[in-house]
Amino acid sequence: MDQEVKVVIHEHTSIDPVEEPYRESLIPDQLQEIGDTLLEAFSSFKESESYDLLVKSTEKVREYIKKNPGQALLYSLGAGAFLGLLMRKKR
């Protein structure tokens, strides 16, 4: 019972703007401008000292979690319970 099944992992079709001119106008100019502004802001943040400090802190946290997984789990459960109490609906 051998059957051949055609498997297509990725079928790439090129989009020609001449054939599909509406594709160019899918993103309004205002959204494009906001996206460009956010991209510039993120790029400048990535080059700042704050970003380097954030990366170093992340590495320290990962090391702490690897060394003390039980304590890290309890801390995260406590923080989640505390935030849950703060954000619950008042009746």
Assign 37 a pLDDT band (cuts: 50, 70, 90).
Answer: very high
Residue 38 placed within a domain = yes
Assign 32 a pLDDT band (cuts: 50, 70, 90).
Answer: confident
Q: How far is CA 26 from the centre of its chain?
A: 23
Residue 20 backbone phi and psi in degrees, to 5: -125, 75
pLDDT at 54: 92
For the chain, what is the mean pLDDT? 82
Residue 9 placed within a domain = no
Q: Report the share of the chain in percent with pLDDT over 90.
A: 42
Please determine, for residue 87, whether its predicted confidence score (pLDDT) is greater than 70. Answer: yes
Residue type, 33: E
Residue 83 placed within a domain = yes
Residue 17 placed within a domain = no
